[in-house]
Structure formats: structure tokens, C-alpha cells
Structure 1
Amino acid sequence: MQNLIPGDMLEVNQKLKWELDTGMTADESSVIRDAVLAGTQYFVDEALEGSYWTVKWDANQQNIDIYGLDATVVGAIKPTGESLEADFRQNSQGLFMRIEKEVAVVVRNN
């Protein structure tokens, strides 16, 4: 369960319960933010066929910045709505499909 990247709200609630049961401090929003970040990192690693680039939340935790080998931002994943968390809550599968496509463009252009 620790490595599960929740793909929908049912899985978010399952992971949240697991985290709380194991003594971690978490809430629904933190589990969603972690899922979106981990999902983005997964798509970056898949596109590059290895773990060469890193993804991190920007300073305002609104966008996910994609860092290349030289630690400069080579791209960003931005919400279409109020936030990436809100995008996940509205349509998690659609969000992950969009992230996968945007990551492919960033990789191709860099």
C-alpha cells in the first residue's frame, strides 16, 4: 500500500486509511497531492526509460515543475481548473491522461 499511487478517490481513501492506521500524519488533500506528484514522476520515468529527471511542486504548490539533468526547469504541469487537486477530484483518470501527454511533449522538446 505504501507505494500505491491512487488513481481515483476510492484509492485515495484506502491509502489515507492505511497511512492513518500506520501512524502517519495525512489528510485527503495530502494523499491527492502525493498521488499527482508520484503519477507525474512515473510518467516522466516511463517517457525517459529511466529516472533521469525529477518532478517537484512549485513554491506555491500550484504547478508541478519538471527538472532536467542540470536541475533546471524544463517544463511544468499546470491545472486546468482551480488546482491539480481539484482536477483530480473532478476527473482523476482524465488528469493522469493529460499529464502523460504533457510529459511526452516536454520530453520530446528537451
Structure 2
Amino acid sequence: MQNLIPGDMLEVGQKLKWELDAGMTADESSVINDAVLAGTQYFVDEALEGSYWTVKWADDHQAIDIYGTTGSVVGQIKPLSASLEADFRQDSQGLFIRIEKEVAVIVRDN
């Protein structure tokens, strides 16, 4: 359960329960934001066939920056609505499909 990247709100609830039962400090928002970040890192690693690039929340926590091997930002994943968390809540599968496609374009262009 520790390594589960929740793909929908049901899995968010399961992961949240697991984290709380394990004594961790978490809430629904933190689980969703962790899932979006981990999912983006997963798609980057898959596209590059290895862990060569890193993803981090942008300073304003409104987008995810993708850093190349030189440590500079090579791309960014932005929300379609108010936030990536809101995008996940509205359509988690659609968000992950969009992230996967955007990552593929960023990798191709860099």
C-alpha cells in the first residue's frame, strides 16, 4: 500500500486510511497531491526508460516542473482548472492520460 499511486478517489480513501493507520499525518488533499506528483514521475521514468529526470511542484504549487539531467526545467504540467488536485477530483483517469501525453511531448522535444 505504501507504494500505491492512487488512480481514483476510492484508492485515495484506501491510501489515506493506510497512512493514518500507520501513524502518518495525511489528509485527502495531501494523498491526491502526492499521487499526481508520483504519477507524473512514473510517466517521466517510463518515457525515458529510467530515472533520469526529476519532477517537483512549482514554487506556487500550481504546476509540476520537470527537470532534465542538467537541473533546469525542461517542461511543466499545468492544471486545466483551479489546480491539479481539482483536475484529479473531477476526472483522475483523464488527468493521468493527459499527463502521460504531455510528458511524451516534453521528452520528445528535449
Q: Which bracket does the TM-score occupy, shorter chain normalised?
A: over 0.9
Paired residue for 1:68? 68
Write the distance in 2 (CA, Å) between the matches of 1:71 and 1:4: 27
Q: Distance in 1 between matches of 2:21 and 2:62?
A: 29
Structure 2 equivalent of residue 109 of structure 1:
109
How large is the Cα RMSD of the aligned pairs? 0.2
- For residues 17 and 37 of structure 1, what CA distance do their matches in structure 2 show? 20
- Please give the TM-score of this superposition, normalised by the length of structure 2: 1.00
* Residue 54 of structure 2: aligned partner: 54
C-alpha displacement of 1:81: 0.4
The answer for the alignment partner of 1:14 in structure 2 is 14
Q: Establish whether residue 37 from structure 1 lines up as the match of residue 37 from structure 2.
A: yes
Equivalent pairs, count? 110
Unaligned runs of 5+ in 1: none
Q: Distance in 1 between matches of 2:19 and 2:104?
A: 32
Gaps of 5+ in 2: none
Moved over 6 A (4+): none
Q: What's the TM-score, normalizing by structure 1?
A: 1.00
Cα distance in 1, alignment partners of residues 109 and 3 from structure 2: 30
Report whether the alignment pairs 1:4 with 2:25.
no
**What displacement does 1:76 show?**
0.2
